[in-house]
A = this chain, B = another copy of it.
Amino acid sequence: MEIEKPSRLATPLVIPLKTMTGPGPTNLADRVRQAGSLPSIGISYLHPEYAELTKDIVEGIQYLFQTKSQLSLCISATGHGAFEAICCNLLEPGDNVLVCTNGLWGERFSIIADRHDAVVQKLVKPQGQVFTPDELEQALKEHRPKLMYVAYGESTGGTLQPLEEFGKLCHKYGCLLAVDAVASAGGVPLYMDRWEIDILITGSQKVLSAPPGLTLISLSSRAWNVVLNRKSKIRSYLFDLTELAEIWGCNGIPLAGKYHHTSSVTLMYALREALALICEEGLENCWARHNLCREQFHKGLAELGLSLLVKDPSIRLPILTTIEIPTEYLNNWKDVCIYAMDTYKVEIASGLGQGNGKLWRVGFMGQNARPETVQLVLKALREGLEHARKNASQHAQL
């Protein structure tokens, strides 16, 4: 052979078990993991299990999102795939889109909308702050957008955007409301229909505690009509919701067994079980469990003398906390993370985007939203802070 076998593949794959308390992916529930290793099946009439699986997932999404929308399905891609799906299905070249930007996700959505030739208008706030209905109305009046993007849970700033009035406001100005609930759905109250959300997305790897690789999406009938009545072609075939609606049996049309693409069937098994676990626990209980962890964790952080980026407790994202790195740690904040990982295999994550080097981020999501995990992280953090302080003073003495 011209290219020889790489020697590195002759060594075993070693993946330690870590406590994944960053922004996700999180640890998987055992049942989810086991489901993910069930045997592969196909999508034709020879595999009726596949049709059942899709129905399970559709109804699971409807419960998770609190929506009656039959346009509820999965995209075979990570959350960025959902961003692409929103942009390529709902926006046409020259359309105005308003992007609420208070962290990395608004930036990313803007990039993707721009690549799809939309005219991007940004409503900008610093990380850690949220948007008021007045600010929103002002921007809607000024820009008259076709669609507005906002992150419900903003995982780079650690905020939870109050959304109750946003749907009505958007609709008053003929605008569709797209809500990114990747870092929130399942962990905090969320009502797609009641709040008049038009497009709602979430990922598999956060509160659902399923492996990354699938994105859940629901469309209101208002949004679906926009897709059906667009004039220009949908640029992506993989993310074309009119095609996906057919293979997901949406809109009451029975599953056609039609071939669109090869879906990630083992990820779908895992997601199905993750949704089943949420159903067993009940959404209210799941929300309450995440909130309890937040309370415990924030109490512990206060005892350690650490302060949060988000000052107003009512807009703190319960499932992910952004901690301000104290001045004395600005040069050696990584030591804290490395100590926690080396000693306890606990993930204390860095800030992302503007928050890099300024924030630590800790998430208790899904399987990790348990009091014992909170205590473990607080212990690792306390010791990590001591360790980094000692290290720094030793260096200072040299």
Residue ranges of A at the interface with B (Cβ–Cβ < 8 Å): 1-6, 8-10, 13-18, 20, 22, 24-28, 33-42, 44-47, 49, 52-53, 55-56, 59-60, 62-63, 66-68, 76-81, 83-84, 108, 111-112, 114-116, 191, 193-194, 203, 205, 211-213, 233-238, 259, 261-267, 269, 272-273, 275-276, 279-280, 282-284, 334, 337-338, 341, 347, 349-350, 352
| Contact partner, A40, options B108, B205, B236, Cβ 8 Å | B205
Q: Name the prevailing secondary structure of the A interface residues.
A: loop
| Contact partner, A267, options B27, B28, B264, Cβ 8 Å | B264
Q: In the bound complex, do residue A79 and residue B272 qualify as a contact, i.e. CB atoms below 8 Å apart?
A: no
> Which residues of the partner chain B approach A205 to less than 8 Å between Cβ atoms?
40, 262
| Distance of A76 Cα from B212 Cα, bound (Å) | 10
**Can you tell how many copies of this chain the complex includes?**
2
Q: In the bound complex, do residue A238 and residue B81 qualify as a contact, i.e. CB atoms below 8 Å apart?
A: yes
Name which residue of chain B comes closest to A283, CB basis: B1
Contacts A68-B3, A236-B115, A237-B83 known; A15 to B276 CB distance under 8 Å? no
> Which residues of the partner chain B approach A341 to less than 8 Å between Cβ atoms?
46
> Which residues of the partner chain B approach A334 to less than 8 Å between Cβ atoms?
45
Q: In the bound complex, do residue A24 and residue B269 qualify as a contact, i.e. CB atoms below 8 Å apart?
A: no
> Which residues of the partner chain B approach A49 to less than 8 Å between Cβ atoms?
14-16
Smallest Cβ distance from A155 to chain B, in angstroms? 11
> Which residues of the partner chain B approach A40 to less than 8 Å between Cβ atoms?
20, 25-28, 205, 211-212
> Which residues of the partner chain B approach A112 to less than 8 Å between Cβ atoms?
237
| Distance of A194 Cα from B273 Cα, bound (Å) | 46
| Distance of A77 Cα from B237 Cα, bound (Å) | 12
Q: Tell me which of A10, A39, A66 has the highest count of chain B C-beta atoms within 10 A of its own C-beta.
A: A39
| Contact partner, A42, options B22, B60, B213, B275, Cβ 8 Å | B22
> Which residues of the partner chain B approach A9 to less than 8 Å between Cβ atoms?
56, 59-60, 63, 272, 275-276, 279
| Distance of A37 Cα from B33 Cα, bound (Å) | 6
